Amino acid sequence: MKNCTAILLTLILGACGQKSELSVENASREFCDCFNSQTTATIDERLNPCLQKIVDKKNNELNDSGILDPDSVKVKISRFSLDMLLDMTRTCDNYFIATNDMYDKGYSADTSELNRNTIKELSMRIKTEVNEDSVKSLLHKKVFRLIQAREFDLALQDIDSIKSLDSTDYGANLARAYIFSQTGLHDKAVTDIEQAIELSGNENLKLYAEIARQKKRVSKK
C-alpha cells in the first residue's frame, strides 16, 4: 500500500525557509486553505506547495529559537508535521476525502479470473511449503490478492494464520485494519493499527488510525 505519510514527511524533512510562529491548529488551517485552493492536480501535487509554505515557517522558527542541531530540528518538524496532518484529517474535509480515497485504493479491486487463479496457485504452494518464513511470505501474497478480490472473510482467515506463525507481524495487522475499515468496523481498524504502531514503532501509522476514526465520525452524520 502506498504510504502517504512517508511521502509527506520526506518532503517536510528537506524543507527550510521563512520566520513565523505556528501552532498545530494554525498550521492546519493554513494548510487546509492552501490545499482547498488546489483543485485540479493530484493529491501529491496539491500537497507539495502547501507543505513547503508551512514547513518553511516552522523550520526557521526552530532555528531562530536557538536549536542548532539539525537532527533535533528534523525530529521536532517531523512531530509537528504529523500532529498537523492528524488535525487536518479531523478538520479539513477535502484533505480527509483525498487521503481517505488514497487509503481505500491501497488494494485496487481485482475480481478477474486471472487473480482467482493466482489465489488458487498460492493456496497450493502454501500446502506444500515447509519453511515457516516462506509460508508466511506466501500467505501475505495470498492475503493481498484476496483483498483485491474482495474476499475479505477468506483474507481474515489467512491473516490469522500469519499471526499464528508470527505474532509480531504488524503487516498482518495493517491488512486486517484495511478490511475492517472497508466493512465499517472502524473501532476494530483503529485497534489493529494501534497494535501495528506498538509492534513497529512507526508513529506515522497514526495517520491511518485517524482516517479510520474520521470515517466513523463521518458515517454517523
* Rounded-to-integer distance, Cα 153 and Cα 141, Å: 16
Q: Which fold has domain 113-219?
A: 1.25.40
Q: What is the pLDDT of residues 68-126, one digit of tens each?
A: 677 787 888 889 989 999 999 999 999 999 999 999 999 999 999 999 999 999 999 99
Provide the 8-state DSSP code for 105. Answer: T
Average pLDDT, the chain: 88
User: For the chain, how long is the longest CA-to-CA vector?
Assistant: 62
Q: What is the pLDDT of residues 165-186, one digit of tens each?
A: 999 999 999 999 999 999 999 9
Q: Is the pLDDT of residue 204 over 70?
A: yes
Domain range summary for the chain, segments of one domain joined by +: 4-104, 113-219
* Rounded-to-integer distance, Cα 29 and Cα 88, Å: 8
Give the HSE-up count for residue 90: Cα atoms under 13 Å, Cβ half-sphere. 12
pLDDT for 146 equals 98
